[in-house]
């Protein structure tokens, strides 16, 4: 007998109190060990629409709802007695007549009827016209819409379409919401009649076969979204596609870019025997997170991990330099700034600030490894709004000459210099440490890192695969990938289905960004065509007269979440910088909840609320999130604004500060609270529109 977990079981388990969770897990494991034992207290549900739904007693009040036929036992739901029975009475398991996929479907008669309007009634006001027009019943069935729900989908207005979608299976939700915003998703292929309906790609996203108790234990210890790594068919196509050059997968927060990157690494390692695959990103903390997810993905083929390395780009570069070239001494940014200050004082007759000179060094000279006056004179300073005539450039170059000489005398290298050493090395040899390179969060890759990637991967088929989101760029200034020889045109794909963030959180967070974001090379990401597959409460934006009032308000909200069943580890609290961490800690101390302040080498601790600056939010996700201290002069950071060297940098500061708040807000899956003391950040007004 196949023992299977359905996605709603894990979701309902997560909402229980700790003791109830523990008892439910014990019962689930007993069922796994001996599913036919008479000691399990199976009870037939007389009022259930599907006679194959049964309840299993956990304790006096808790019940697990299972689906049971001759070949399968499926854990479907767990809750207190009355709630569990109500869940079962409203559902049935059926096979979609068009797709052939197994679906647990809400019984239509048990749901409040959506107000209907006739499609052909042209006189109806726009707000009462159906959201979806011109789609046949056959097409809707092919998208996974259950037969009983066809009429509701076709007659739902724009106001009601989200409510209807909430009652549909995931694949149907996605298609319906895409249709509602004017997109026409590709109709999935129909399974052959003899194919197991539980093996359909759509079913695999919801039903997971448990092969042994150890696998079940691991599944129950992780939230559904953290261990379910099955791909949407559209994502699977991307993962398995051959690319004749560099490719980039984009999409807003929550669209599954990282999952695609993980599966791409595994697919390439499986496809090419003896190949070595690198999965990398810009920080070691993110690399550690990727490594954990990869272990879960390849748990059934652990030896594959021997050919997939997960490491940050800077750590990789340091290791390669030491093994291929020799040890290098890196200079710190503070140390470099001192060199620039001293050199600036030596060169007379200029009026440039140290801040401007440092920025010119980092964004132009060091980034592009310019080593001669002629190269600097002729370099096109793209995006630098302050024009420099040749005499001015000559003065600045005189400063940089002092810095370059001092670095050479003391045998010091900048980080960019270290990457240049590697770039030169691999440009001179056909050997490469890896066969395939997958770069996650690619929007924050810098010039020297991208040049290095090109040197090791070149134009090899499936050599370079990037995933990222221009709307989450928070570290690097924009630059032309084409100028480095990385051209992704024709090999750029945008993911448009958001699996992680509710419709309400996503739409409010999107107000921080432009509807279209264009990179330097003209590649455009259109953000308003993304859809979320589930609803949730509207984000709360609360203002306070003082920080003490804010602390009390946040503490109250956190306690309400915990009392409603949320675990501490499902909660994240973010602030703009370390200066605001004290306010977050005061709020947590007021609650008595355990918490951990994350650092660069963070690891999420079970049973603890995570507290962090926004810069460390990348790669994290929580059921509930608080974004605190969004005050005026906090975000955007007043320190950054005051240190701006030119007009282009000012624009970039505003953009990256917006992106930073966007990243923090989109870490939330279900509930989001944004707080500030008066007067609030100017960005808050944008989110209130």
Question: In this model, does residue 633 exceed pLDDT 50?
Answer: yes
Question: pLDDT digits over 253-301, tens only?
Answer: 988 899 999 999 999 999 999 899 999 998 888 898 899 889 888 887 8
> Which pLDDT band holds residue 183 (cuts at 50, 70, 90)?
confident
Question: pLDDT digits over 576-620, tens only?
Answer: 999 999 999 999 999 999 999 998 776 666 789 999 999 999 888
Mean pLDDT of 615-630: 92
What is the number of other CB atoms lying within 10 angstroms of the CB of residue 178?
A: 19
The strand pair at 668-677 and 540-544 is best described as parallel
Question: In this model, does residue 223 exceed pLDDT 70?
Answer: no
Query: What span, in angstroms and rounded, lies between the C-alpha atoms of 406 and 374?
Result: 20
Query: What span, in angstroms and rounded, lies between the C-alpha atoms of 246 and 260?
Result: 16
Range of the domain at 71: 2-94+197-227
| Same domain for 634 and 542 | yes
| Same domain for 277 and 370 | no
At 386 the pLDDT is 58
Residue 190 inside a domain? The answer is no
At 121 the pLDDT is 46
51 or 117, higher pLDDT: 51
Question: In this model, does residue 125 exceed pLDDT 70?
Answer: no
Question: In this model, does residue 189 exceed pLDDT 80?
Answer: no
At 475 the pLDDT is 83
Residues 6+ apart with CB under 8 A from 198: 2, 4, 72, 102, 204, 207, 209
Residue where one domain finishes, among candidates 413, 428, 457: 413
> Which pLDDT band holds residue 119 (cuts at 50, 70, 90)?
very low
Query: What span, in angstroms and rounded, lies between the C-alpha atoms of 395 and 181?
Result: 55
At 111 the pLDDT is 60
What is the number of other CB atoms lying within 10 angstroms of the CB of residue 310?
A: 24
| Same domain for 553 and 671 | yes
Mean pLDDT of 302-325: 94
| Same domain for 494 and 435 | yes
Residue where one domain finishes, among candidates 497, 531, 565: 531
Residue 284 inside a domain? The answer is yes
Residue 187 inside a domain? The answer is no
Chain-centroid distance, C-alpha 311: 18
DSSP assignments along 482-498, one per residue: GGGT---TTSEEE--EE
Tokens read off for 397: 């170059």
| Same domain for 291 and 384 | no
**Cα torsion 611, 614, 615, 619: sign:** positive
Q: Collapsing DSSP states into helix, strand and coil, what is residue 22?
A: helix
Residue 63: strand pairing partners: 57, 79
Query: Pseudo-torsion of CA 298, 301, 302, 305, nearest 10°?
Result: -70
The CA-atom distances, in angstroms, between 157 and each of 108, 152, 184, 657 are 18, 10, 18, 36
Residue 426 inside a domain? The answer is yes
Q: Which segment, 280-284, 416-420, 649-653, is predicted with the most confidence on average?
A: 416-420
| Same domain for 682 and 588 | yes
Tokens read off for 660: 């930073």
Question: In this model, does residue 101 exceed pLDDT 70?
Answer: yes
Question: In this model, does residue 234 exceed pLDDT 80?
Answer: no
Residue 315 inside a domain? The answer is no
At 117 the pLDDT is 43
- As a whole number, the mean pLDDT across the chain is 87
| Same domain for 38 and 6 | yes
At 663 the pLDDT is 95
The CA-atom distances, in angstroms, between 156 and each of 91, 113, 161, 172, 195 are 21, 10, 5, 14, 33
Residue 66 inside a domain? The answer is yes
Tokens read off for 342: 């001293």
162 or 468, higher pLDDT: 468
| Same domain for 575 and 503 | no
372 or 430, higher pLDDT: 372
Tokens read off for 547: 């920080």
Q: Which ranges in 381-528 belong to alpha helices (H)? A: 390-409, 415-427, 447-457, 503-510
Number of structural domains in the chain? 5
Mean pLDDT of 75-79: 95
- Which of 613, 661, 241, 251 lies closest to 441, judged by CA? 251
**Cα torsion 582, 588, 589, 595: sign:** negative
508 or 188, higher pLDDT: 508
> Which pLDDT band holds residue 122 (cuts at 50, 70, 90)?
very low
């Amino acid at each position: 007998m196949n023992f299977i977990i359905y996605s709603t079981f894990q979701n309902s388990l997560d909402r229980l109190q700790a003791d109830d969770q523990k008892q439910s897990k014990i019962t689930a494991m007993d069922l796994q060990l001996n599913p036919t034992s008479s000691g399990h207290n199976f009870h037939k549900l007389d009022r259930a629409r599907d006679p194959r739904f049964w309840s299993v007693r956990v304790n006096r009040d808790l019940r697990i709802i299972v689906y049971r036929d001759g070949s399968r036992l499926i854990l479907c739901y767990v809750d207190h007695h009355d709630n569990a029975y109500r869940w079962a009475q409203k559902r049935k398991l059926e096979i979609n007549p068009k797709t052939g996929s197994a679906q647990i479907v809400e019984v239509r008669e048990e749901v409040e009827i959506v107000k209907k309007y006739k499609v052909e009634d042209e006189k109806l006001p726009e707000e009462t016209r159906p959201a979806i027009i011109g789609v046949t019943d056959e097409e809707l069935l092919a998208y996974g819409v259950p037969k009983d729900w066809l009429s509701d989908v076709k007659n739902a207005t724009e106001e009601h379409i989200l409510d209807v979608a909430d009652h549909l299976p995931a694949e149907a939700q996605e298609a319906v919401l895409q249709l509602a915003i004017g997109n026409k998703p590709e109709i999935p292929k129909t399974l052959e009649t003899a194919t197991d309906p539980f093996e359909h790609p759509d079913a695999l996203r919801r039903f997971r076969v448990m092969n042994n108790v150890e696998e079940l234990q691991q599944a129950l210890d992780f939230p559904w979204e953290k261990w379910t790594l099955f791909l949407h068919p559209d994502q699977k196509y991307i993962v398995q596609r051959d690319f004749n050059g560099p490719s980039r997968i984009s999409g807003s927060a929550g669209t599954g870019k990282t999952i695609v990157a993980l599966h791409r690494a595994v697919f390439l390692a499986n496809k090419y025997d003896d190949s070595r695959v690198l999965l990398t990103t810009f920080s070691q903390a993110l690399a550690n997170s990727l490594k954990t997810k990869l272990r879960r993905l390849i748990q059934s083929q652990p030896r594959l991990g021997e050919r997939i390395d997960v490491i940050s780009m800077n750590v990789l570069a340091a290791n390669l330099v030491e093994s291929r070239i020799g040890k290098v001494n890196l200079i710190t940014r503070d140390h470099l700034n001192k060199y620039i200050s001293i050199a600036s004082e030596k060169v007379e007759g200029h009026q440039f600030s140290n801040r401007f000179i440092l920025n010119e060094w980092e964004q132009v000279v060091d980034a592009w490894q310019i080593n001669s006056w002629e190269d600097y004179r002729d370099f096109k300073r793209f995006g630098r709004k302050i024009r420099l005539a040749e005499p001015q450039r000559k003065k600045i170059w005189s400063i940089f000459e002092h810095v370059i000489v001092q670095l050479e005398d003391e045998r010091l290298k900048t980080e960019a210099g270290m990457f240049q050493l590697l770039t030169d090395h691999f440009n001179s040899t056909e050997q490469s440490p890896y066969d395939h390179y997958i770069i996650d969060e690619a929007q924050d890759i810098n010039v020297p890192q991208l040049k290095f990637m090109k040197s090791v991967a070149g134009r090899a088929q499936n050599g370079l695969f990037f995933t990222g989101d221009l709307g989450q760029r928070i570290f690097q200034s924009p630059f032309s990938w084409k100028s480095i020889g990385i051209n992704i045109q024709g090999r750029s794909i945008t993911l448009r289905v958001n699996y992680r963030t509710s419709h309400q959180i996503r739409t409010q967070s999107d107000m921080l960004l432009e509807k279209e974001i264009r990179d330097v090379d003209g590649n455009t990401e259109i953000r308003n065509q993304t859809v979320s597959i589930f609803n949730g409460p509207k984000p709360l934006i609360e203002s306070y007269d003082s920080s003490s009032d804010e602390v009390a308000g946040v503490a109250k909200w956190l306690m309400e979440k915990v009392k409603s069943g949320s675990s501490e580890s499902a909660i994240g609290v973010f602030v703009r910088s370390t200066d605001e961490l004290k306010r977050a800690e005061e709020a947590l101390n007021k609650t008595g909840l355990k918490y951990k302040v994350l650092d660069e080498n963070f690891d999420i601790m079970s049973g603890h609320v995570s507290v962090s600056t926004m810069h460390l939010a990348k790669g994290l996700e929580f059921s509930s999130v608080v974004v605190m201290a969004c005050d005026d002069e906090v975000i955007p950071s007043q320190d950054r604004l005051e240190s701006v060297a030119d007009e282009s940098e000012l624009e970039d500061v505003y953009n990256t500060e917006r992106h930073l708040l966007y990243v923090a807000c989109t870490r939330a899956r279900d509930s989001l609270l944004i707080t500030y003391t008066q007067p609030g950040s100017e960005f808050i007004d944008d989110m209130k529109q």
